[in-house]
């Protein structure tokens, strides 16, 4: 998908026009301003001020002031409110070209209002990715949320930096330096749209090239099976990125982030009203990074415009898009030794073994429209359509999966030009009703997804690029051989198109039998069509099809849970849910495409709120069983030995047991903490024991045994230190297995597993805010810990050393 700078110019021209419209509106509209104070005369911050007739709202600033602009002349009712305090209303008449001042004095004093703010901000809210709008205590599944405050305080740049704040979720891989892979409960998710379990505002998204964190309002994680709502996704977790939205109050922020290795990142975020019923937001970012890894760099340009339309008192339409242009160095780490069976710990963390000229360029564009309509207080409709295009052009060395025990490696080359287009449509209807004394909270929905991948094949001097040897290096001693620096011409030979279609329909009901006893039940029917690939042989001028025929997969995904809430602040639940995994290959017994593997999850958990919601403590215990794991069939249907690894049988089993613990606290508006710990044991529990089958009892590779996270931040408000902030964050990633899982009767006598030890990193932060200006500085990995992330089975990547990052921001 080709995106030109002319496209970006048009977007900025559109927003320039919008700004001119705002100026034109200023000639015919009026404004309302004022202050809100407590009963003892102190400024009342974060209080909502609403024009009831227009459904227009804003929040008071730290000094208690507020301003609402672009109001048509007329008579209105102004209301101040905050959950837990007494509302007040005043009548006001607005005239063109005038600013009307309306002040409020609250019934609460400053101390009482502080308690109200804490409780209002920390009352658990519905998880957006749940779709049904359930309260946190009513959702019988473990979740995690990384708030905007944490994203800002930790100066988060990548999605992987954010999700480490959720217990049991870890950044396990860095895929070629162009994307991230995460794991939870023994299962992984990675980049790509069709195969991913990462969503943006509830819509499947391709996360190649790292999502831009500057546009994130929060990050949500739903652990375990989410097939009921999302279909063919990971059995371990899904991630939902919630983006910043337009606002009907003028404001914004400009910032400059600077860090070690010449990293600098200016950004701008502007929002405000266009008219009475239209608001906009524009986020723009430029990033230029060096790296602790030799020869590695990243340059990113990102723009995210969005417009919100109030189509009536009960209907809104949000239109948003984003464009990312990225150039970076693909980096698969330091490799491994002996074909993936040993870690080259003797090399420095900066050592780079790709070609000096390796590159990856990406253009990514997405557009989405979200319609929300509220029929009444009980029934709502949500409809979303989305399109995303990802175009990646890369050229580099082939993967380092054939390195000898002494570091000798005949480097090949890998050339790629891939396009992925994702199209998604989704409709959800939520409602509440009663049947006698029983209350129902229902969700009915459907979603449709089309993913089309286009990939090119290449040759060098008439030789297939996969067999071409570029040069020879030694990954331990890079000075041993002279490395080539030229870039061979790779000619396009073929273009393969692979479409996938997915359709799902689902229904869910939370049944409140009493205030204490509830039942959640739901089911989804999923249908997936994987079309036979079509191939255009460019040099021959002919076309053909791939060897695999079109296949159809169907699956039902049920979910059932029993919830007991002995008091209003405690919930105990037990749940069963089902997930499915689409398999490749053919069934040895039928000769047809292999059916999906069905994965069963059982979870027992408890969610608790203490001290009016200031502290939240959750624990969950789970077991996930894939009792029909697809494995290579040892024998063919006629009883002869099978030597075709595409002929399989659903006879294996994996089991993942573990638990998660989370304790978070917002003790005051100045102090909060986040802590979590998880344990997981994912292993093969049933195999055939025949040659080529997995080894029973062996842990699955990549997923860590345990993870832990701890964060605390404190902002001073004493006169001498007012505006100063300090914080500390620690992350622990437990031991993992790199390499490959062993098989029965493998030719080599030694294990293919490579143990990777656990590690802890500690970050310290300090900041200062004066009026609208803030400065935040952090030192990450302050102990300079040395350890590794698993790039893939054949390679590891050293974690970042001690680094410095600072952000200077101005909010207006």
State the pLDDT at residue 122. 46
386 pLDDT higher than 80: yes
Distance CA 605, CA 574 (A): 6
pLDDT value at residue 20: 43
Q: Is the pLDDT of residue 11 over 60?
A: no
Residue 741's pLDDT is 83
Q: What stretches of 331-437 adopt beta strand conformation (E)? A: 359-374, 379-397, 408-435
**CA distances from residue 649 to 22, 39, 97, 741 in whole angstroms, order as listed:** 65, 73, 76, 19
CA neighbor of 743 nearest in space, from 695, 784, 777, 781: 695
pLDDT at 239: 92
Third-level CATH fold of 128-243 = Ferric Hydroxamate Uptake Protein; Chain A, domain 1 (2.170.130)
Asked if pLDDT for residue 417 goes beyond 60, the answer is yes
Residue 19 DSSP SS3: helix
Of 129, 1, 125, nearest in space to 447 by CA: 129
Indicate whether 780 pLDDT > 60.
yes
Q: How many Å apart are CA 794 and CA 412, to the nearest integer? A: 15
In Å, how far from its chain's centre is CA 212?
10
pLDDT of residue 280: 95
pLDDT at 149 over 70: yes
**pLDDT above 80: residue 750:** no
Quick one: which of 209, 225, 268, 217 has its CA closest to 241? 217
Q: Is the dihedral of CA 75, 81, 87, 88 positive or negative?
A: negative
Q: 133-142, 500-509, 556-565 — which is least confidently predicted?
A: 133-142
Q: pLDDT tens, 611-652?
A: 888 899 999 999 999 988 887 777 788 878 777 777 888 888
pLDDT at 83: 59
Residue 329's pLDDT band (boundaries 50, 70, 90)?
A: very high
pLDDT score, position 620: 97
Label residue 481 left, alpha or beta by phi (over 0 means left) and psi (-120 to 50 means alpha): beta
- pLDDT reported for residue 1: 43
- Architecture in CATH for domain 5-122: Sandwich (2.60)
Q: Give the mean pLDDT of 386-406.
A: 93
- Local structure of residue 382 (DSSP, 8 states): E
- Alpha carbon distances (Å) from 643 to 379, 397, 632: 57, 31, 9
Quote the mean pLDDT of the chain: 88
Report the pLDDT averaged over residues 655-670: 93
Q: Out of 21-35, 143-157, 328-342, 703-717, pick the least confident.
A: 21-35
Per-residue pLDDT band for 422 (boundaries 50, 70, 90) equals: very high
Averaged pLDDT for residues 224-237: 91
Is 251-454+469-811 the same fold as 128-243? no
pLDDT(211) > 90: no
Is the model more confident about 752 or about 474? 474
Low-confidence winner among 103-112, 757-766, 781-790 (lowest mean pLDDT): 103-112
Task: Report the b/e string of 24-48 with b at 16+ CB within 10 A.
Answer: ebeeebbbbebbbbbeeeebbbbbb
Of 768, 644, 754, nearest to 333 by C-alpha is 754
What pLDDT is stored for residue 703 in this prediction? 86
How much is the pLDDT for 466?
A: 92
Q: How would residue 191 be classed by pLDDT, with cut points 50, 70 and 90?
A: low
Mean pLDDT along residues 124-151: 85
Q: Which of 411, 417, 413, 492 is nearest to 458 (CA)?
A: 492
Q: Provide, rounded to the nearest whole percent, the portion of the chain with pLDDT above 70.
A: 93
**SS3 at position 580:** strand
CA–CA gap between residue 283 and residue 305 (Å, rounded): 6
Q: Which residue has the higher pLDDT, 635 or 431?
A: 431
Which class for 591: exposed (0-12), middle (13-18), buried (19 or more C-beta within 10 A)?
Answer: exposed
Percentage of the residues of the chain whose pLDDT score is greater than 90:
61
Alpha helices per DSSP H over 30-79: none
CB 328 within 8 Å of CB 352: no
- Distance, in Å, from the CA atom of 248 to the CA atom of 275, rounded to the nearest integer, reads 9
Choice among 173-187, 645-659, 733-747 with the minimum mean pLDDT: 173-187
User: Residue 395: is its pLDDT beyond 50?
Assistant: yes
Per-residue pLDDT tens for 36-90? Answer: 999 888 898 888 898 887 768 788 887 889 988 888 888 999 988 775 667 788 9
Q: Per DSSP, which regions of 290-358 are E strands? A: 298-312, 315-328
18, pLDDT greater than 80: no
Which tens digit of pLDDT belongs to each residue from 237-283? 999 999 999 998 889 999 999 999 999 999 999 999 998 889 999 99
Residue 667: Cβ within 10 Å count: 15
Q: What are phi and psi of 67, to 5 degrees?
A: -150, 130
Q: 251-454+469-811: which CATH architecture?
A: Beta Barrel (2.40)
Work out the pLDDT band at 25, boundaries 50, 70, 90. Answer: very low
The answer on pLDDT for 332 being more than 80 is yes
Give per-residue pLDDT as tens, 690-714: 777 788 888 988 889 999 999 999 9
Residue 115 has a pLDDT of 63
* 446-502 pLDDT per residue, tens: 999 999 999 999 999 999 999 999 999 999 999 999 999 999 999 999 999 999 999
Give the pLDDT score at 190. Answer: 67
Q: Given this model, what pLDDT does residue 581 score? A: 86
Per-residue model confidence as pLDDT tens digits over 558-611: 999 999 999 989 999 999 999 888 888 888 888 778 888 899 999 999 999 998
Query: Greatest CA span in the chain, whole angstroms?
Result: 90
- pLDDT-derived band at 16 (thresholds 50, 70, 90) equals very low
444 pLDDT higher than 90 = yes
For the chain, the distance separating the N- and C-terminal CA atoms, rounded to the nearest angstrom, is: 36
> Domain segments of the chain: what residues?
5-122, 128-243, 251-454+469-811
Per-residue pLDDT at 177: 64
User: 536-564 pLDDT, tens per residue?
Assistant: 999 888 999 988 888 899 999 999 999 99
**Predicted pLDDT at 176:** 59
Q: Are 673 and 664 in contact (CB under 8 A)?
A: yes
pLDDT for residue 8? 44
């Amino acid at each position: 998908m080709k995106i030109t700078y002319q496209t970006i110019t048009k977007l900025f021209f559109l927003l320039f026009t919008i700004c001119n419209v705002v100026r034109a509106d200023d000639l015919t509209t009026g404004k309302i301003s004022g202050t809100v104070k407590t009963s003892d005369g102190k400024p009342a911050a974060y209080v909502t001020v609403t024009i009831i007739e227009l459904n227009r709202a804003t929040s008071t600033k730290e000094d208690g002031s507020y301003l609402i602009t672009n109001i048509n002349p007329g008579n209105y009712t102004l209301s101040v409110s905050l959950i837990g305090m007494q509302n007040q209303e005043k009548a006001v008449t607005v005239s063109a070209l005038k600013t009307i001042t309306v002040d409020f004095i609250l019934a609460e004093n400053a101390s009482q209002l502080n308690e109200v703010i804490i409780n209002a901000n920390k009352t658990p809210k519905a998880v957006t990715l749940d779709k049904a709008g359930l309260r946190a205590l009513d959702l019988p599944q473990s979740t995690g949320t990384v708030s905007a405050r944490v994203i800002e305080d930790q100066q988060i740049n990548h999605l992987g930096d954010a999700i480490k704040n959720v217990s049991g979720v870890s950044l396990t891989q860095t895929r070629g330096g162009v994307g991230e892979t995460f794991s939870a409960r023994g299962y992984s998710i990675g980049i790509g749209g069709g195969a991913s379990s990462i969503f943006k505002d509830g819509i499947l998204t391709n996360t190649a090239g790292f999502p831009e964190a500057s546009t994130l309002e929060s990050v949500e994680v739903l652990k375990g099976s989410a097939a009921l709502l999302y279909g063919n996704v990971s059995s371990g977790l899904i991630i939902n990125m919630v983006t910043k939205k337009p606002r009907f109050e003028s404001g914004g922020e400009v910032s400059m982030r600077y860090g070690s290795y010449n990293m600098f990142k200016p950004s701008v975020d502007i929002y405000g009203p266009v008219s009475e019923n239209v608001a906009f937001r524009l986020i723009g970012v430029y990033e230029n990074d060096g790296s602790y890894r030799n020869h590695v760099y990243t340059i990113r340009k990102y723009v995210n415009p969005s417009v919100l339309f109030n189509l009536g008192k009960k209907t809104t339409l949000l239109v948003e898009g984003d464009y990312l242009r990225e150039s970076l160095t693909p980096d698969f780490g330091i490799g491994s030794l002996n074909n993936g069976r040993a870690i080259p710990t003797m090399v420095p963390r900066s050592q780079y073994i790709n070609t000096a000229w390796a590159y990856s360029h990406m253009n990514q564009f997405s557009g989405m429209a979200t319609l929300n309509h509220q029929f009444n207080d009980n029934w709502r409709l949500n409809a979303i359509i989305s399109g995303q295009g990802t175009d990646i052009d890369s050229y580099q060395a082939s993967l380092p999966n054939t390195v000898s025990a002494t570091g000798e490696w005949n480097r090949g080359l890998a050339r790629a030009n891939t396009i992925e287009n994702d199209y998604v449509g989704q409709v959800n209807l939520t409602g509440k009703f009663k049947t006698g004394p029983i209350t129902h909270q229902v969700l009915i929905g459907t979603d449709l997804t089309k993913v089309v991948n286009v990939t090119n094949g290449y040759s060098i001097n008439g030789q297939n690029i996969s067999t071409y040897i570029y040069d020879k290096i030694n990954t331990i001693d890079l000075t041993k051989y002279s490395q080539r620096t030229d870039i061979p011409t790779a000619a396009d030979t073929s273009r393969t198109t692979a479409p996938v279609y997915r359709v799902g329909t689902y229904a869910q009901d939370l049944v409140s039998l009493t205030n204490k006893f509830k039942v959640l039940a739901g089911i989804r029917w999923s249908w997936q069509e994987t079309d036979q690939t079509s191939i255009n042989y460019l040099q021959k001028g002919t076309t053909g099809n791939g060897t695999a025929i079109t296949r159809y997969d169907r699956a039902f995904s049920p979910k059932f849970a029993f919830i007991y809430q002995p008091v209003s602040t405690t919930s105990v639940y037990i749940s069963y849910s089902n997930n499915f995994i689409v398999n490749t290959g053919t069934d040895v017994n039928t000769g047809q495409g292999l059916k999906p593997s069905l994965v069963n999850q059982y979870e027992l958990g408890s969610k608790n709120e203490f001290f009016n919601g200031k502290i939240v403590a959750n624990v969950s215990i789970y077991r996930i069983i894939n009792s029909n794991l697809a494995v290579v069939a040892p024998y063919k249907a006629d009883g002869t030995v099978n030597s075709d690894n595409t002929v399989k049988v659903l006879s294996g089993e994996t089991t993942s047991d573990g638990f998660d613990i989370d304790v978070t606290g917002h003790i005051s508006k100045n102090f909060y903490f986040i802590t979590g710990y998880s344990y997981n044991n994912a292993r093969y529990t049933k195999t055939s024991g025949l040659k080529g089958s997995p080894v029973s009892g062996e842990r699955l590779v990549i997923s860590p045994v345990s993870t832990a996270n701890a964060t605390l931040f404190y902002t001073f408000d004493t006169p001498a230190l007012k505006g100063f902030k300090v914080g500390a964050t620690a992350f622990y990633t437990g031991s993992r297995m790199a390499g490959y899982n062993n098989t029965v009767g493998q030719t080599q006598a030694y294990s293919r597993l490579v143990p990777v030890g656990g590690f802890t990193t500690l970050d310290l932060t300090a900041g200062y805010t004066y009026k609208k200006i803030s400065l935040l500085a952090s030192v990450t990995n302050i102990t300079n810990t040395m350890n590794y992330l698993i790039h893939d089975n054949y390679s590891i990547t050293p974690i970042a050393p001690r680094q410095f990052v600072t952000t200077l921001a101005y909010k207006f």
